[in-house]
A and B are shown apart, each in its own frame.
Chain A
């Protein structure tokens, strides 16, 4: 197995706290603890590359250089971080003037020796769905999931980890764990990303289309690997119909591995997800304080 340093990214300390919690819990349970990159800084997603191409590359590249100096690659759960780190890595590998400029502004060597890895790819490809299933004690029986990959893991071809139209990594993993991954057409539709604040109405519309498609496909919930997707889908569903809960895939993997709901941050969603998991007998035990208060 390759050796990595963990790059959590900024969201995992805030809005996506449960993604960070569940990631670390799952990795620990699988016996592969990955040390955090010391002194990491923001990768710049999505604002730096929106303002300036080079600025976007430079902010992400700093982290690549720190890890490379320790002879390691970066492992990140966040789809947006992955995309930015991979873009910088790709820029460095292309060589030429851009790579020179990056080394100069960073004041560090950087060759792009190690390709950054997304957590989803790491779990499925390096650890293996089968191996995870072997260690899992709670089959996700009866849970119908719509796996939502968003943009940043499936595009562009230079660093996508899966197919642009019908990716399968998450589907395969959760099916191996006993869930039923419904086939549906909106797996890689964009959720509107950072426009949630500046163009809120547009994002409501995009989210509605995605959630509606999942509902029509018969899903009980959506599952994602991106903090921005999760936030938009969790916070921008229109009122009216009963909302669908939005899980991080690591949370469902954790449930299957028998980890406790609080450890996985399952009580932190805006649209509560625990009632569904309890109803399907996937989570048992006493109802926690936050779960009770925020129903």
Chain B
């Protein structure tokens, strides 16, 4: 946590980071007065390493490494509770999204590797078929993470209820979608990894 190490604000870095967030999210983190309302309403705060309020502080201190390399931005479910509640009209959820985008573009190694894997797999399937095939996503994720047998019973239940379609659909538009996805994949590659 922040307190465990002496940290000094770096105003130059802060300026730059806030500028980039402004471009992506259209909101100015500099307005934050640290009331903590965002944290108070966040449903996922217990799974985070920094609270949303702390993220705002870290941004304003220019602690770029910390905010791009944390769990918080990946655990955030984009529920927008923070955004609608912030008394300073900061779009906190959009800031989280901007930080995720920046982390990927900079090729930062993330501690939330399982969540990233989930998203990347999702994109791989959508890029290939044009639509999400849920069974492929769930199975793929379980193979990757070695949690193959967790939820097996649930899978069977869903299958019996006709909730798992066995074959993916592939509309003609899949090719155009593949182009968009490869634009992104290309930029990810440039980001490093």
Query: Which residues of A are at the interface with B, using a C-beta cutoff of 8 A?
Result: 10-11, 13-17, 39-42, 44, 46-56, 58-59, 62, 66, 105-107, 151, 155-157, 164, 188-190, 192-195, 197-200, 202, 205-206, 235, 267-270, 290, 293-294
Residues of chain B lying within 8 A (CB to CB) of residue A105: 179-180, 183
Whether B35 sits at the interface, judged by CB under 8 Å, is: no
Assembled-state Cα–Cα distance A108/B50 (Å): 41
Assembled-state Cα–Cα distance A51/B187 (Å): 12
Assembled-state Cα–Cα distance A269/B122 (Å): 25
Establish whether residues A14 and B164, one from each chain, have CB atoms under 8 Å apart when the complex forms: yes
Residues of chain B lying within 8 A (CB to CB) of residue A199: 44, 47, 75, 115
Establish whether residues B101 and A62, one from each chain, have CB atoms under 8 Å apart when the complex forms: no
Residues of chain A lying within 8 A (CB to CB) of residue B141: 197-198
Count chain B CB atoms within 10 A of each CB in A42, A56, A188, A189 and give the residue with the most. A42
CB distance from B148 to the nearest CB of A (A): 13
Establish whether residues B119 and A15, one from each chain, have CB atoms under 8 Å apart when the complex forms: no
- Mask, B73-103, CB within 8 Å of A = 1, is 0110111110110000001010001101100
Residue of A nearest to B26 (CB): A94
**Secondary structure dominating the interface of B:** helix
CB contact under 8 A between A42 and B132, given known A48-B123, A51-B104 = yes
Establish whether residues B47 and A202, one from each chain, have CB atoms under 8 Å apart when the complex forms: yes
CB contact under 8 A between A41 and B171, given known A14-B135, A62-B176, A62-B177 = yes
Residues of chain B lying within 8 A (CB to CB) of residue A164: 84
Establish whether residues A40 and B122, one from each chain, have CB atoms under 8 Å apart when the complex forms: no
Assembled-state Cα–Cα distance A228/B123 (Å): 18
CB distance from B172 to the nearest CB of A (A): 5
Residue contacts A-B, CB under 8 angstroms, 13 given:
A13-B165, A13-B169, A14-B134, A41-B131, A47-B120, A50-B97, A50-B100, A51-B123, A51-B184, A53-B98, A55-B123, A195-B47, A268-B161
Tally inter-chain residue pairs, CB-CB below 8 A: 173
Residues of chain A lying within 8 A (CB to CB) of residue B122: 47-48
Establish whether residues A47 and B130, one from each chain, have CB atoms under 8 Å apart when the complex forms: no
Residues of chain B lying within 8 A (CB to CB) of residue A59: 126, 177, 180
Whether B192 sits at the interface, judged by CB under 8 Å, is: no
Establish whether residues A42 and B101, one from each chain, have CB atoms under 8 Å apart when the complex forms: no
Establish whether residues A41 and B130, one from each chain, have CB atoms under 8 Å apart when the complex forms: yes
Establish whether residues A42 and B164, one from each chain, have CB atoms under 8 Å apart when the complex forms: no
CB contact under 8 A between A156 and B77, given known A192-B44, A202-B47, A206-B43 = no
Assembled-state Cα–Cα distance A200/B138 (Å): 13
- Mask, B170-193, CB within 8 Å of A = 1, is 011110110111011001000000
Establish whether residues B184 and A11, one from each chain, have CB atoms under 8 Å apart when the complex forms: no
Establish whether residues B101 and A53, one from each chain, have CB atoms under 8 Å apart when the complex forms: yes
CB contact under 8 A between A15 and B91, given known A190-B43, A197-B141 = no
Residues of chain B lying within 8 A (CB to CB) of residue A47: 118-120, 122-123, 126
CB distance from B91 to the nearest CB of A (A): 7
Query: Which stretch (B5-13, B53-61, B152-160) binds chain A?
Result: B152-160
Residue of B nearest to A294 (CB): B160
Residues of chain A lying within 8 A (CB to CB) of residue B118: 47, 194, 197-198
Establish whether residues B126 and A202, one from each chain, have CB atoms under 8 Å apart when the complex forms: no
Residues of chain B lying within 8 A (CB to CB) of residue A202: 44, 46-47
Residue from B100, B105, B162, B187 in contact with A268 in the complex, judged by beta carbons closer than 8 Å? B162
Q: A14-B164, A155-B84, A190-B43 are known; give 5 further A-B pairs, CB within 8 A.
A: A42-B132, A52-B101, A55-B184, A151-B81, A268-B161
